[in-house]
Amino acid sequence: MWALGVVLYTMLYGQFPFCDTSLAQLFSRIQAANYNIPPDGNSVQASDNTVFLIQRLLVKDPKHRLLADEVLDQLSSIIASYVIVPNPPEDLQVVPDVPLDEEPKEKTDGNQSSTEVDRKPFITIPENGGETPSAN
């Protein structure tokens, strides 16, 4: 359960819960379960239930940590707290109803309709067969 707390913390905040410049200090922090939850002003805003879950997994005394079934219950309540958006009804039309077999209208005057395309090339190829002049 401890390792799950470390993994959840790392995935959520993008850093390890325990870090220090010296190994002795690092081990001391781990043994004391001395870590900090980043403040809400951080780029990640975790729900209170998620923070509670991490705090209950990163407890020094294994007897006071959450058990697997308690973690499952906590995760279920976290997932249930998110609003699930139902699928939109089938009758919503996103693409306009236009028959696919219709040809675009021909230009009849100087004005161009929205279905017509002006077919000008993006680049102009030189008349000399596309060869570039030599740099001699």
Is 105 domain-assigned?
no
Q: Is residue 130 part of a domain?
A: no
Q: How many domains does the chain have?
A: 1
Mean pLDDT of the chain: 78
Query: What pTM value is reported for the model?
Result: 0.56
Residues of the chain with pLDDT under 50: none
| Residue the block writes with tokens 């850093």 | 15
CA of 102: how far to CAs of 105, 107, 116, 118, in Å? 9, 15, 13, 18
Q: What is the largest CA-CA distance in the chain?
A: 85
User: Which structural domain, as residue segments, surrounds residue 50?
Assistant: 2-80
Residue 106 in any domain: the answer is no
pLDDT more than 70, % of the chain: 60
State how far the alpha carbon of 22 is from the alpha carbons of 6, 18, 26, 52, 58, in Å.
19, 12, 6, 29, 21
CA distance 33 to 26: 10
Q: What is the CATH number of the domain that holds 6?
A: 1.10.510.10
| Per-residue pLDDT reduced to its tens digit, 107-126 | 555 555 555 556 666 666 66
